[in-house]
Chains A and B, each alone.
Chain A
């Protein structure tokens, strides 16, 4: 394996920079003019429904897809033209880790280790013990959870600069999901290492992320620090004297639902908007609270 390009540690250059990335699969616009940056040392949560473009975006970061339009840089490099330099510094775990079933656990780890000069055998050993994985077991005899844990060791034991987890928790029990969240926290508490975590489990994303991006039908709907997203979205319920047949018009509303006298608005606006709106509409505020990431997500997805 050739020497790795070492980035200038003093620079604040993002770990991942995606600029105007678009991708079509036949008639389907999988990614539509996506621009985002992931900075060093953060947990970047990627949310969106199945088919929103999360995996397609991740495949571009891994250099598995070439950018049709736009540009993708990882560690300042093009992952398609410099796959070795990029992939050596990435740990990747997908929803269904593609592990060869005929191999035994120990063989797989030896095989994986060969690709990574920085493989930390002691760390792998420690995780094997913690997860209770039998090194002599054949991979096709492992449960789904144990397979995910093995995939996690393979992704993590070379202490990658960037850990990418694509829907890692799907269909797994809470204990395995906990192991995955622990791996995320472990990675990011090691100075300077970065995590991209795609999931539809919004409470998990909310726990661990610094920054959240939301894809909907290939378009980036939101991309901001979690704190900022939480601060600017409100859930406000209004009560009207007279029942309404039409939803009230509220500036900044991304979702309005209700019936009769009570209507609830999810808004992308600053805190103090509710009293003015209530006065304008002649309504009473029943509740004015921070919207949950789940509500924000559903509102932006237009359901």
Chain B
């Protein structure tokens, strides 16, 4: 229930159903609308806060972070780049698992490279 709620809220924010700077429904309202335990809503809100998606303003409620729109724009720009990369990999007849492994290897080797550079500096 809790994971469902977190995913649902993230989706609403990503699709722009709830925009940057806007307030999320109160815990009470959310619990009553979805018929779930209010503590589940509190946990979901805290989770989103720790991911930097929302901000808990004391006494006034939960707001979607202003910086989120920048991040969403960025993700939108990245999507076509990713799509064409995956298209090209698929044209080589690579399976999903291979593509995933390539992606992770690439990220890991960059991580190692950055790490060694830092140690040298």
If A185-B38, A207-B37, A208-B36 are given as contacts, then 15 extra A-B residue pairs at C-beta distance below 8 Å, sorted by A number, are A178-B35, A182-B32, A185-B31, A185-B32, A186-B32, A188-B37, A189-B32, A189-B38, A207-B1, A207-B35, A208-B35, A208-B37, A209-B37, A210-B37, A210-B39
CB of A106 within 8 A of chain B? Answer: no
CB of B72 within 8 A of chain A? Answer: no
Q: Give, as a whole number of angstroms, the nearest-CB distance from A214 to chain B.
A: 18
Q: Give, as a whole number of angstroms, the nearest-CB distance from A255 to chain B.
A: 23
A206 CA to B36 CA, complexed, in Å = 9
A contact residues, range: 10 to 19
Which residues from A are CB-within-8-Å of B35? 178, 181-182, 185, 207-208
Interface-central residue, A178, A182, A207, by most chain B CB under 10 Å: A207
Which residues on B are within 8 Å of A, measured CB to CB?
1, 27-28, 31-32, 35-39
Q: Is the interface of A mostly helix, strand, loop or mixed?
A: helix
A182 CA to B38 CA, complexed, in Å = 12
**Which residues, 182 to 219 on A, are CB-close (under 8 Å) to B?**
182, 185-186, 188-189, 206-210
**Which residues, 143 to 188 on A, are CB-close (under 8 Å) to B?**
178, 181-182, 185-186, 188
CB of A93 within 8 A of chain B? Answer: no
Which residues from A are CB-within-8-Å of B28? 189
Q: Give, as a whole number of angstroms, the nearest-CB distance from B37 to chain A.
A: 5
A43 CA to B28 CA, complexed, in Å = 14
Which residues from B are CB-within-8-Å of A209? 37
Q: Give, as a whole number of angstroms, the nearest-CB distance from B58 to chain A.
A: 17
What 1/0 flags go to A125-159 for Cβ under 8 Å of B? 00000000000000000000000000000000000
